[in-house]
Amino acid sequence: MSGIDSRLADIVPNLRSGLRQDAARRRTGRVRQVTGAIIHAALEEARIGEICDLVDPKTKRRMKAEVIGLLDEMAILLPLGDIAGLSSLTEVIPTFKSQQIRIGPALLGRVISALGDPLDGAPLDETGIAGNYPVIADPPPSMQRSLISEPMTLGIRALDGLLTCARGQRVGLFGAPGVGKSMLLADIVYGTDADVVVIALVGERGREVREFVERQAGTEGLARSVIVAATSDRPAIERVKAAHAATAIAEYFRDQGKHVLLAMDNITRFARAQREIGLASGEPPTRRGYPSSLFAALPRLLERAGPGRIGSITGLYSVLMEGDGTMDPVAEEIQALLDGHVFLSTELAQRNHFPAIDVLRSRSRLMDTVVSQEHREHAGRIREMMSRHAEVELLVRVGEYERGSDAATDEAIAKIDRINAFLRQDSNSREMLAETLRLMREIALQ
């Protein structure tokens, strides 16, 4: 090799290395402004939804943030964690990737964060990790979904009997605070015949996570469940990601051919976290202070549940209502998007009637598709008797109703105690569907 060739052999690798380092420096930005939880960074190249690493050169503290907006030559980021320790020297390094979460059988029986980190004190078994799924994903194409044709047993008489849920259906549990939404979800987790249960605890109180795991779901319910938790003290972006991460995990098990129950408690706090993000990034508020981006985010989340080519995701979403819900834009929007709604009554809860399901206000839009003719007739008969009793209940209480004036109303009055006994059910008790149908037959025909 000549002397020139030898010198070129030394120069070219160094030149290439210098070019790579220079390109890396150009892609790396720096924090310029922090306002509340919003970070503005000077970043030459950034994409919406991209995850960036934030590294402080002095403290070596490292955290992740997501790009949620672009303004002039600045990228607007939301940190996935606490921002304490950030400085004007913090470097912002784009990863050119969106957030993904580890999935696999190792997640069963575990409690994890929205980022996929274990919260129950033990590492994940890496041999049970099958790979990664994107946290934000498109729903299955409409024409590639299988038809809904089978019921999903939830173990709750009032639901299985009068508001039957189908595999792949999406149902909202609507109610004011304190009517038992979380307890009902826990009882469903205990009593359902789903293959896998994925539970998203979004914005819950810190003490409620362990209570749900150990007291409400129980050992048997937890063994086939994955719990994704982001408590109320976590950043808004993490609460939003908890809902999407739980949905991504449910999608993995659905793609394995499993029938998955996705229980989200609650989607109202997802909406409020989405509002925080929208307002902080400069979006103008619209209905009741919610930015328009929320009403685009809700269907993107909810449409991911449902039947797939194989397997299904049955979605149960608890909704915290303001008043009767008629002036609550979130409750109104969710009710329009879902395939059924179950209203929980404050009045029934005050009477110690649990689960406090207001059967007459509730409706399963797919019940008629998946139940037998006999089941449909008996459920309709019981609802008719409940409706007739509701019409004359006040007259009966004050002694103004005269028995014998209407045979159907007399029957409703005579059977209302049996109907209420059927609708009441102790917590952590599971009712088999065959027994539920037998009790309905006796009430309807005897």
The ranges assigned to domains in the chain are: 14-98, 101-368, 375-445
Mean pLDDT of 302-331: 88
Out of 233-242, 370-379, 399-408, 426-435, least confident range: 399-408
At the second CATH level, the architecture of 14-98 is Beta Barrel (2.40)
Quick one: CA torsion of 329, 173, 139, 48, rounded to 10 degrees?
Answer: 50
The residue type found at 222 is L
Out of 139-148, 322-331, 428-437, least confident range: 322-331
**Count of all residues that appear for the chain in the document:** 446
Would you say 193 and 436 are in contact if contact means Cβ atoms under 8 Å apart?
A: no
| Average pLDDT across the chain, whole number | 88
CA-to-CA distance for 353 and 192, rounded, in angstroms?
A: 21
Residues 6+ apart with CB under 8 A from 301: 243, 244, 247, 267, 270
Q: Which long-range contacts (CB under 8 A, 24 or more apart) does 278-284 make?
A: 280/35, 280/36, 280/37, 280/38, 280/78, 280/236, 281/38, 281/68, 281/69, 281/76, 282/69, 282/71
pLDDT value, residue 271: 94
**By CB neighbour count within 10 A (0-12 exposed, 13-18 middle, 19+ buried), where does 294 fall?**
buried
Write down the residue that tokens 């009966």 correspond to: 396
Dump pLDDT digits (tens) for 185-219.
Answer: 889 988 899 999 999 999 888 788 888 777 666 66
Out of 39-48, 157-166, 188-197, 420-429, least confident range: 39-48
Q: Is 344 helix (H, G, I), strand (E, B) or coil?
A: strand
CB-CB neighbours of 115 under 10 Å: 18
CATH number of 101-368: 3.40.50.12240
Percent of the chain scored above 70 by pLDDT? 91
Among 442, 417, 389, 420, residue whose Cα is nearest residue 158? 420
pLDDT value, residue 175: 92
Query: Given this chain, do its domains 14-98 and 375-445 carry the same CATH topology?
Result: no
Cα 185 to Cα 156, 179, 181, distances in angstroms: 10, 12, 6
pLDDT value, residue 8: 46
pLDDT value, residue 208: 80
Out of 146-150, 215-219, 339-343, 347-351, least confident range: 215-219
pLDDT value, residue 327: 73
CB-CB neighbours of 136 under 10 Å: 18
Dump pLDDT digits (tens) for 381-408.
Answer: 999 999 999 999 888 888 888 888 888 9
Model confidence band, residue 5 (pLDDT cutoffs 50, 70, 90): low
pLDDT value, residue 404: 80
**By CB neighbour count within 10 A (0-12 exposed, 13-18 middle, 19+ buried), where does 317 fall?**
buried
Is the whole model's pTM more than 0.85, yes or no? Answer: yes
CA-to-CA distance for 156 and 427, rounded, in angstroms?
A: 10
Q: Is 188 helix (H, G, I), strand (E, B) or coil?
A: helix
At the second CATH level, the architecture of 375-445 is Up-down Bundle (1.20)
Percent of the chain scored above 90 by pLDDT? 56
The residue type found at 107 is L
